Amino acid sequence: MPTKSKPKKRKKTLVIVESPAKAKTIEKYLGRNYRVIASKGHIRDLPKSQMGIDFDNNYKPKYISIRGKGDTIKELKAEAKKAKDVYLASDPDREGEAIAWHVAHALNLDDTAKNRVTFNEVTKDAVKNSFKHPRSIDMDTVNAQQARRILDRIVGYSLSPILWDKVKKGLSAGRVQSVALKLVIDREKEIKDFKPQEYWTIDAEFKKGRKAFKSQFWGVDGKKKELPNNDAVQAILAKIDKKKEFTVNKVVLRERRRQPAAPFTTSTMQQEANKRLNYRTRRTMSIAQQLYEGISLGKEGTVGLITYMRTDSKRTSPIAQAEASKFLNEKYGKEYAAKGQRHFKNAEDAQDAHEAIRPTSVYRTPESLKSVLTTEQYRLYKLIWSRFLASEMTPAVYDTVRADSEQNGVTFRTTGSKMKFAGFTKVYDNQQEKNVELPDLNEGDKVKLSKSDNKQHFTLPPARYTEASLVHSLEENGVGRPSTYAPTIDTIQRRYYVKLEGKSIVPTELGEIVDNLIEQFFPDIVNVDFTAQLENDLDSVEEGKKNWVKVIDDYYHPFKKELDKADSEIKKVQIKDEPAGFNCDICGAPMVIKMGRYGKFYACSRFPDCRNTKAIVKKIGVTCPKCGKGDVVEKKSKRNRKFFGCSRYPECDFVSWDKPIGRNCPNDGHFLVEKKNKKGLVVLCPNGDYKEEAKDDTVKES
């Protein structure tokens, strides 16, 4: 009896994405006829050991397989051989397009074939629809990314050897981060050069009957007047007769509408997450990547919760807008849903390749997902969800009052507002306006001045950059693109060109030395307008309007002249070691303060014969509450988080995340610590049975 032949195993369609998490999600959507695997990012790049660019052959890049990616490339090739068809589904941006091109090259795929699929959100419908409309690899987009990579390699690999030779080994410089560093240093110069200007204010309290309200001095004889000094204040007070009443001579009633903010772009998401959640830019992008690639929702399976998070567009799809309108009508009522489709204007240089960052479905509310999300994922998702929903809501409406009270030509102005309709603030409010209600004031009313308070002030210097404000400044100046903000800020911190003090970004001595050299010999690199123009040229390459080789050529030739000049003219910079003021406890030689990769530290002056080093610690003026012998010093953890420990470590192992203040709790004798909250500083007992709240710089027991 003839044996039955086994049916041939049906070949599967292979789909290649970047991340394993994304691969798992997409494979579930596409079903058993598809095999989805990850390239785990780039598989080819320029070599680390050499420039890797053929300057005599139109800047042709020399790509090699990235070390450690051998097994991944073998797997990709093996799966491609077995597959019926191969699709490239890396992220829908320049980087993703370049990854698809590199994978196609490694697998000998035809890069003109329609094997490229992209989707802005990792949801079942979006993924399945993308396979209905495959396209060929967009070589204009690939060339824009190649041009950026080659330019960054030319700048980095040309400048870094000069910095190694002239300043210090281990240093490096880059194109976009040099501009970011210059912005930070220029701000620091503004702060140092700032000369405060004196000015005064007169705050007053008036009464109409028994109702009191606050007011501020505005002007004299119908004209606004500044108060530059105390003499000007006294001249105003001399005009006022405290026994006489003021007359309300002007009342302006208005209705003010506050419009909602646009849904998030990469930049605005990073800024708000930094301000509201205290997330660093890199952390924000990491969490957003997880939300985009997919979260397991139990029976529903793995779902991408947000759209693609690298975007400078404020546009959202009509389908998402219609869903938001339906949700708002059901949840809050029709008066809260915006009438018609809302359009937010993009910045002039926005690429508008993708939608704004939004939830893939507003019906997946933050509260409904709280049990399946980590705390970090939940907080960022709630921010994105709320911001998008608010952008599709009606304005908040306020009744505002402005009243001027006058006596002998002296005018005090009072302003108040009361919310009439919450509108979008019911979901998301990025200003937190307070109601300031006033008594019913009418023109001709008499009001009595009950007290006044004259205060001296001085103008303040501009604030140091935070990660949020630096991202805003980079975007405003057209430097970098959504994918570059987080790595740029991360790089200048890792190289110790800047450091964080609280949330403020402060330049280091090393950063100032590097910036000074680059500004002196390579002015174009740190020229904001020049760098912004280059970004526009790269956008033009992506749009097919400019040739990528010509863009590099126009940039490289002036840079080459600067490079030759710098190599011959830059003198070696000596970073002198400062005396530490004490001797080495191993060999007795004087200790010095050296500059290292992570900042300053103590080292023996006989290095390398004696390798004794010590961390520089800051005493806080408090004796160790555990041993009573050592000093409490400020230290930094491996993650750069500040904590407090005993100077006698390891003999004494006292540590505290919160700053001890040198007093003990009157209830249980435990040492008290200082913490910050929204109201300011608070002194409390870690055991939780005692607290002192700081009010107006004084500590009050509670």
493/510 Cα distance (integer angstroms): 11
Instruction: List, in sequence order, every beta strand (DSSP E) within 246-312.
Output: 246-258, 295-296, 302-303
- Tell me how crowded residue 590 is: count the other CB atoms within 10 A of its CB: 14
Whether 463 and 246 have beta carbons less than 8 Å apart is answered as no
Instruction: Report how far residue 339's alpha carbon sits from residue 321's, in angstroms, rounded to the nearest whole number.
Output: 11
HEC sequence for 142-177:
HHHHHHHHHHHHHHHHHHHHHHHHHCCCCCCCCHHH
d(C-alpha 427, C-alpha 484), whole Å: 31
Query: Parallel, antiparallel, or unpaired for β 590-596 and 504-507?
Result: unpaired
Respond yes or no: is residue 497 known to be catalytic.
Answer: no
**Residue 25 backbone phi and psi in degrees, to 5:** -60, -50
Read off the tokens for 451.
Answer: 């007290």
Give Cβ neighbours of residue 57 (< 8 Å, ≥ 6 apart). Answer: none
User: 14 by DSSP, 3-state: which?
Assistant: strand
List b or e across 650-683, with b for residues whose CB sees 16 or more CB atoms inside 10 angstroms. eebebebebbbbeeebeeeeebbbbeeeeeebbb
Q: Collapse the DSSP code of 408 into the 3-class scheme (helix H, G, I; strand E, B; otherwise coil) and give the result.
A: coil
d(CA 136, CA 104): 11
Helix (H, G, I), strand (E, B) or coil at 236: helix
**Alpha-carbon span 660 to 622, nearest angstrom:** 7
Token pair 């609280």 is found at 502
Q: Indicate which residue of 87, 308, 398, 555 is catalytic.
A: 308
Asked if residues 689 and 669 have their Cβ atoms less than 8 Å apart, the reply is no
For residue 526, give the amino acid letter.
V
- Report which of 443, 391, 395, 399 is spatially closest to residue 419, judged by C-alpha positions: 399
> Which candidate, 15, 9, 230, 223, places its Cα nearest to that of 134?
15
Provide the β-strand partners of residue 700: 693
CB 316 within 8 A of CB 388: yes
Strand ranges (E), 498-559? 498-501, 504-507
Long-range Cβ pairs for the range 249-252 (8 Å, 24+): 249/404, 249/405, 249/406, 249/443, 249/444, 250/402, 250/403, 250/404, 250/443, 251/401, 251/402, 251/403, 251/404, 251/441, 251/442, 251/443, 252/401, 252/402, 252/403
The closest of 111, 178, 136 to 495, measured between CA atoms, is: 178
Q: What are phi and psi of 203, to 5 degrees?
A: -95, 140
Amino acid making up residue 536: N
How far apart, in whole angstroms, are the C-alpha atoms of residue 176 and residue 186? Answer: 16
Instruction: List the catalytic residues.
Output: 308
